[in-house]
Amino acid sequence: MRNRIIPLIRKETLHIIRDPRSLYLALGLPIVLLILFGYAITFDVKNIPTAVVDQDNSVLSRDLISRIASSNYFDLLYLLNTHSGTDRLLDEGRVKIILSIPSFFSRDISRKQDTPVQVLVDGSDNNTAQIAISYVSGILQLFSSNIIMEKLNKDGPMPIEGIPPINVEPRLWYNPDLKSTNFIIPGLIAVVMMVIAAMMTSLTIAREWEIGTMEQLIATPARPHEIIIGKLTPYYFLGLLQTSFVILIGTFLFKVPLRGNILFLFCVSSLFLACGLGIGLFISTVTKSQQLAFMMSVIFTLLPSFLLSGFIFPVSSMPQIVRFFTYLVPAKYFLVVLRGIFLKGIGLNILWPEVVSLFLFASLIILACAKRMKLNLE
Amino acid sequence: MNSIEVENLTKRFGRFTAVDGTSFSVKKGEIFGFLGPNGAGKSTTIRMLCGILRPTSGTAVVGGYRIDAQPEKIKKIIGYVSQKFTLYQDLTVEENIDFYGGIHGLSPSIKNERKKWVMKMAGLKGRENSLTKKLSGGWKQRLSLGCAILHQPDILFLDEPTASVDPVSRRDFWDLIYNLSEEGTTVFVTSHYMDEVERCHRIAIIFSGKIIALGSPRALKSEFTKKVDSTLEDVFISAIERERKNEK
């Protein structure tokens, strides 16, 4: 009995090479998606357009304003001395935040009284709003504690030097600058690899059904497992090539540090690719139409990888029932591995539960396909 | 000796009965024509005989193997050309031949010998490296036939083989079928061209999933019509009329 798998692999490879669309789908699209999303999705809030209404116009109020203006977080676009017309600035979206200093600001402070500073925030973008509020309160708190210290130093009952102050010195591990690309790029790599792997496999099989070559193929002595291996092998290697592309882009273009072992990264990527190819294969046992295969691979891979993997929303804050479904999303495990290898530089000794989960998922889905895949026309 | 024995073969898709308890047999080396309008159950029958569609009931023995029990064995001894043109259009002529040769497990030396034979038979010499999609209809169709008989099958199934082919190519094609039949290959061919089926040794007329007439073209003509120079078309029409009467 001669080997039938090799002619199948050779034929599939020729399809890939001759069809620029499949090469674009496999190698071009991930790059485009990664660059597009890598620049578009950022949770960093910087340069918030800001207006300040200074009704006091004193040394103190100007000091406060200069602190706000000199931080990276705010872009001081309007400096006004009355409230008239400020509503329009928010309405028209020209500013996201308005800080209003009352006319009695420096008087109250010199009398050692509380003084209110109003902060108007555009809450229609709640994420930016929350971050802006916390930045403003941080600046205001620092400002007021400086004033208190000054007063205490000047006329305090005891010399301030004697009290040991408590300083919080936060040290951020793994991502010291809190760059959100460091967090997003590994997630995007997982999403892109999963979607493309599942889409490519389900489309290539559906295409053979649609043009009728599958009918010819199943009338030959080729066995189902031979057809599956012949179909998947070229796409597996294409997937590995694609993985190297996205890793290169992540590390060189987006400067995500790669602290762990590259070989280990490729081994786990292989497992993850096997999950994606398996899902694609499973879809192709359900439908023989390219259009439906395309839609199903979007629904069963893109959305879960985005929403249920912990990429954007942390799994720990999901309701119990939703959290249950996240265990069925391979991207969830791969994401932990990617962030672990890229940012933390950890290896198999810590990441083994994820690796085992990916292995189980891949074997189960491919076994399920082998059972379901009946090579006949029904 | 019979190459194909069909017994009460039935296929239902939901409530629709595509093939309704047909029985017939095909002798070794015979060219057997399956004539019927579109939707009569021709393709469904051929698919069941090739072992790629399971019958709802009844069975058939093809080349000594039962279609429900040993479809893998059947696939080794048959050649199948389906209704659509189903070679890989993005592969060259030679790559298609290599692929089908490889999948049938031909050894390199036999494959090369058969490849030369197919190139000559199909008149494709010098076009080894042309993409298949660039070939014209007649060439494509001879190449499909060539790929289906690379492994020298005992039984050849052809589903509407000349549907999109010009008359000259069609004549060449039939010459080839005769040669195969003389060498002992059984040929099972479906068609809805009356003049074409006339060349078969025996014909079955299928209508609504049932065989309503069976015999050699000459026998059928004398059975169904009284005219001297009647054609198969006359046979076809009167066979259908008789069937409709029987139903009432």
User: Is residue A2 in a domain?
Assistant: no
Same domain, A30 and A124: no
**Domains in chain B, CATH or no CATH each:** 2-13+27-88+156-247 (3.40.50.300)
- Name the residue among B80, B146, B90 with its Cα closest to residue B116: B146
| Under 8 Å between Cβ of A281 and A235 | no
Spell out the long-range contacts of B8-16 with Cβ–Cβ below 8 A and sequence spacing 24 or more.
Answer: B8/B57, B8/B58, B8/B59, B9/B45, B9/B48, B9/B55, B9/B58, B9/B59, B9/B60, B10/B55, B10/B56, B10/B57, B10/B58, B11/B41, B11/B44, B11/B45, B11/B48, B11/B53, B11/B55, B11/B56, B11/B209, B12/B56
- What's the CATH code of the domain at A144? 3.40.1710.10
Dump pLDDT digits (tens) for A122-145: 888 777 788 888 888 888 888 888
User: Is residue A3 in a domain?
Assistant: no
Same domain, A301 and A363: yes
Dump pLDDT digits (tens) for A244-255: 988 999 899 888
- Name the residue among A204, A205, A198, A202 with its Cα closest to residue A304: A198
Q: In a 10 Å sphere around its CB, with 0-12 CB exposed, 13-18 middle and 19+ buried, how is residue B29 labelled? A: middle
- Of the pLDDT bands very low, low, confident and very high (cuts 50, 70, 90), residue B196 is confident
**Would you call A67 helix, strand, or coil by DSSP?**
helix
Q: Do A215 and B99 count as a contact with CB atoms less than 8 A apart?
A: no
What pLDDT score was predicted for residue A378? 61
Q: Amino acid identity of A237?
A: F
Q: Do B99 and A376 count as a contact with CB atoms less than 8 A apart?
A: no
**Would you call B158 helix, strand, or coil by DSSP?**
strand
* Higher per-residue confidence, A27 vs A168: A27
Across B176-198, average pLDDT: 88
What pLDDT score was predicted for residue B191? 86
Min Cα distance B186 → chain A (Å) is: 17
Among the residues of A212-223, which ranges form H helices? 213-218
| Under 8 Å between Cβ of B158 and B196 | no
Q: Do A219 and B104 count as a contact with CB atoms less than 8 A apart?
A: no
| Last-in-domain residue among A114, A137, A162 | A162
By CA distance, what is B55's nearest residue in A?
A378
Same domain, A78 and A207: no
Same domain, A217 and A234: yes
User: Is residue A68 in a domain?
Assistant: yes
What pLDDT score was predicted for residue A376? 58
Q: Do B103 and A8 count as a contact with CB atoms less than 8 A apart?
A: yes
Which of A2, A14, A19 is closest, CB to CB, to B105? A2
Across A147-169, average pLDDT: 63
N-terminal to C-terminal alpha carbon distance within chain B: 38
By CA distance, what is A13's nearest residue in B?
B91
Q: Give me the phi and psi of B190, to 5 degrees please.
A: -105, 155
Q: Do B47 and A222 count as a contact with CB atoms less than 8 A apart?
A: no
Same domain, A105 and A214: no
Lowest mean pLDDT among B69-73, B77-81, B221-225: B221-225
Residue A21 with chain B: CB contacts under 8 Å: none
By CA distance, what is B98's nearest residue in A?
A7
| Last-in-domain residue among A137, A162, A187 | A162
- Name the residue among A59, A60, A79 with its Cα closest to residue A69: A79
User: Is residue A218 in a domain?
Assistant: yes
Lowest mean pLDDT among A157-166, A320-329, A353-362, B81-90: A157-166
Same domain, A30 and A57: no
Query: Does the structure show a pLDDT above 80 at B180?
Result: yes
Q: Which residues of B touch A (CB under 8 A)?
A: 47, 50-54, 72, 75-76, 78, 80, 82-91, 95, 98-107
Which of B50, B52, B103 is closest, CB to CB, to A7? B103
Which of B75, B87, B88 is closest, CB to CB, to A220? B75
Query: Does the structure show a pLDDT above 50 at A162?
Result: no
Cα B30 to Cα B188: distance, rounded to the nearest angstrom: 8
Which of B54, B78, B88 is closest, CB to CB, to A11? B88
A305 lies in which domain range? 11-42+179-372
Cα A340 to Cα B45: distance, rounded to the nearest angstrom: 58
Query: Does the structure show a pLDDT above 80 at A29?
Result: yes
Residue A209 with chain B: CB contacts under 8 Å: none
What pLDDT score was predicted for residue A156? 60
Tokens matching residue A128: 């930016």
| Last-in-domain residue among A112, A132, A162 | A162
Please report the ipTM that was assigned to this predicted complex. Answer: 0.87
Across B181-204, average pLDDT: 89
User: Is residue A377 in a domain?
Assistant: no
Q: Which of A220, A223, A227 should one mutate to test binding to chain B, selecting the residue with the greatest count of B CBs within 10 A?
A: A220
Query: Does the structure show a pLDDT above 80 at A275?
Result: yes
User: Is residue A173 in a domain?
Assistant: no
Residue A7 with chain B: CB contacts under 8 Å: 98-99, 101-103
What pLDDT score was predicted for residue B11? 93
Same domain, A224 and A368: yes
Tokens matching residue A79: 């400096």
Which of A8, A19, A215 is closest, CB to CB, to B90? A19
Among the residues of chain B, which ranges form H helices? 42-49, 71-77, 93-103, 108-121, 137-148, 167-182, 194-197, 217-224, 232-247
| Under 8 Å between Cβ of A178 and A43 | no
Same domain, A37 and A53: no
- Name the residue among B31, B32, B28 with its Cα closest to residue B2: B28
DSSP states along A291-321? HHHHHHHIIIIIHHHHHTSSSSS-GGGS-HH
Same domain, A38 and A54: no
Q: Which of B43, B45, B52, B129 should one mutate to test binding to chain A, selecting the residue with the greatest count of A CBs within 10 A?
A: B52
Name the β-bridge partners of B4: B26, B62
Q: Which of A216, A373, A377 should one mutate to test binding to chain B, selecting the residue with the greatest count of B CBs within 10 A?
A: A216
Lowest mean pLDDT among A35-49, A210-224, A284-298, B114-128: A35-49
Q: Do B75 and A212 count as a contact with CB atoms less than 8 A apart?
A: no
Query: Does the structure show a pLDDT above 90 at B28?
Result: yes
Q: Which of B43, B80, B88 should one mutate to test binding to chain A, selecting the residue with the greatest count of A CBs within 10 A?
A: B88
- Of the pLDDT bands very low, low, confident and very high (cuts 50, 70, 90), residue A341 is very high
Across B63-70, average pLDDT: 91
What pLDDT score was predicted for residue A277? 93
Q: How long a stretch of residues is chain A?
A: 378
Query: Does the structure show a pLDDT above 50 at B133?
Result: yes
Lowest mean pLDDT among A193-197, A357-361, A370-374: A370-374
Which of B80, B89, B105 is closest, CB to CB, to A1? B105
What whole-number percentage of chain A has pLDDT above 90?
Answer: 21
- Of the pLDDT bands very low, low, confident and very high (cuts 50, 70, 90), residue B168 is confident
Across A159-165, average pLDDT: 51
What pLDDT score was predicted for residue A1? 47
Cα A303 to Cα A296: distance, rounded to the nearest angstrom: 10
Query: Does the structure show a pLDDT above 50 at B211?
Result: yes
Query: Does the structure show a pLDDT above 70 at A82?
Result: yes
| Under 8 Å between Cβ of B155 and B77 | yes
N-terminal to C-terminal alpha carbon distance within chain A: 28
By CA distance, what is A17's nearest residue in B?
B90
Across A280-284, average pLDDT: 90
| Under 8 Å between Cβ of A265 and A185 | no
**Would you call A247 helix, strand, or coil by DSSP?**
helix
Min Cα distance B13 → chain A (Å) is: 9
- What angle (nearest 5°) sits at the alpha carbon of residue B115, between those of residues B110 and B120? 130
Q: Do B80 and A2 count as a contact with CB atoms less than 8 A apart?
A: no
Cα A350 to Cα A268: distance, rounded to the nearest angstrom: 13
Across A302-319, average pLDDT: 86
Which of B47, B80, B88 is closest, CB to CB, to A213? B88
Among the residues of A95-160, which ranges form H helices? 105-110, 126-155
Min Cα distance A204 → chain B (Å) is: 13
| Under 8 Å between Cβ of A217 and A227 | yes
Min Cα distance B79 → chain A (Å) is: 8
Name the β-bridge partners of B186: B155
Residue A6 with chain B: CB contacts under 8 Å: 102
Query: Does the structure show a pLDDT above 60 at A217?
Result: yes
Q: Which helix (H) or strand (E) element contains residue A371?
A: helix A348-372
What pLDDT score was predicted for residue B139? 85
Same domain, A251 and A340: yes
- Give the CB-side neighbour count of residue A66, counting CA atoms within 13 A: 7
Tokens matching residue A214: 């599958």
The tally of domains found in chain A comes to: 2
User: Is residue A5 in a domain?
Assistant: no
- What angle (nearest 5°) sits at the alpha carbon of residue A370, between those of residues A368 and A376? 120
Residue A2 with chain B: CB contacts under 8 Å: 102, 105-107
Same domain, A34 and A82: no
What pLDDT score was predicted for residue A2? 57
Q: Give me the phi and psi of A43, to 5 degrees please.
A: -95, 0
Measured over all CA atoms, what is the biggest interatomic distance in chain B, rounded to whole angstroms? 61
Tokens matching residue B223: 């059975």
Same domain, A192 and A293: yes
Across A91-114, average pLDDT: 86
Q: Which residues of A touch B (CB under 8 A)?
A: 1-2, 4, 6-8, 10-11, 14-15, 18-19, 211-213, 215-223, 375-378
User: Is residue A263 in a domain?
Assistant: yes
Axis-axis angle for helices A348-372, A262-286 (nearest 10):
20
Residue A10 with chain B: CB contacts under 8 Å: 98-99, 102
Query: Does the structure show a pLDDT above 60 at A100?
Result: yes
